[in-house]
């Protein structure tokens, strides 16, 4: 069934479907917005009690609802300044060492970090990674796992496969095929990568610093000099997706609970950073 699910996605005009869905999701017409928002909230049992605007009719479009802000007290950061915190609400897909620069995608399936970021990843060989999957009902803003300076980004065009467990098991190098934005940070605990991976349907990635506009038409590398505090918002997904965080060797010790299938919330401790 996983192979059939992936095969049907290959047949789809993924970008065309996603762009059409994006236009509908961005519509402010009440006859489009209201059934989309109310239907989605009911079907996925979205908890709006944590939102700044708990009334679903207060949103001007489905995208406005989907990227909703939470109350200031809804996601407290772990108080330990050395804690590497979850950048999103989601489920741990995989976590562990970057053995020979390879990340585990699913059981028995691995891929190369160089292919994911389209660049030199030697500094991260032997390091650590965690992959976090965001379900449709989750809070979809992305935050900094640690404080540091955004040094560069690489916007990489690609496909728009869905990124759930069924597709991960069936599509080799899934995250290396999809559109993605690689964010390179310099922190007090070494270099860190935060990779935002797009997915099927709306598939748009937005950043707070005005980075490249998704969908990406070509590979684009940009240098930046912007500092982010731990927990500060980096950007958001318009229906998606996955975030992958990578640290250099010896820089983080994962919490024992951080393993495949663990649900986390933004600001929760994933591990402890080491000098």
Active-site amino acid positions: 89, 143, 241
E strand spans, the chain: 83-85, 90-97, 102-106, 109-112, 128-133, 141-143, 148-156, 180-187, 190-197, 204-207, 220-228, 233-238, 242-247, 252-254, 263-264, 269-273
Which of 164, 137, 162 shows the shortest CA–CA distance to 40? 137
The rounded distance, in Å, linking the Cα atoms of 103 and 97 is: 7
The rounded distance, in Å, linking the Cα atoms of 48 and 42 is: 11
Cα dihedral 217/153/101/89 (nearest 10): -90
Tokens coding 206: 């937005």
E strand spans, 1-147: 83-85, 90-97, 102-106, 109-112, 128-133, 141-143
Do residues 239 and 61 touch, judged by C-beta distance below 8 A?
A: no
Residues constituting the chain: 275
């Amino acid at each position: 069934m996983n192979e059939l699910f992936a095969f049907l996605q290959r047949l789809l005009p993924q970008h065309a479907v996603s762009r059409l869905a994006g236009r509908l999701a961005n519509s402010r017409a009440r006859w489009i917005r209201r059934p989309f928002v109310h239907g989605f909230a009911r079907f996925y049992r979205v908890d709006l009690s944590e939102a700044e605007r708990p009334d679903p009719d207060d949103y001007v479009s489905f995208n406005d609802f989907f990227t909703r802000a939470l109350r200031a007290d809804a996601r407290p950061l772990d108080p330990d300044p050395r804690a590497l915190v979850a950048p999103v609400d989601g489920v741990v897909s995989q976590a562990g060492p970057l053995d020979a620069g390879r990340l585990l995608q699913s059981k028995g399936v691995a891929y190369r970090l160089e292919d994911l970021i389209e660049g030199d990843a030697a500094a991260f060989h032997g390091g650590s990674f965690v992959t976090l999957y965001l379900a449709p009902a989750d809070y979809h803003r992305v935050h900094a796992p640690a404080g540091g300076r955004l040094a560069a980004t690489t916007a990489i065009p690609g496909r728009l496969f869905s990124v759930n467990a069924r597709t991960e098991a069936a599509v080799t190098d899934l995250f290396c095929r999809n559109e993605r934005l690689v964010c390179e940070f310099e922190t007090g605990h070494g270099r860190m990568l935060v990779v935002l991976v797009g997915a099927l349907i709306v598939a748009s990635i937005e950043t707070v610093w005005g980075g490249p506009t998704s969908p990406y038409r070509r590979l684009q590398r940009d240098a930046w000099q912007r500092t982010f505090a731990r927990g500060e918002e980096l950007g958001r997904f318009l229906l998606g997706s996955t975030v992958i965080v990578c640290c250099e060797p010896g820089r983080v010790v994962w919490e024992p609970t951080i393993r495949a299938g663990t649900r986390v919330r933004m600001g929760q401790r994933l591990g402890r950073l080491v000098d």
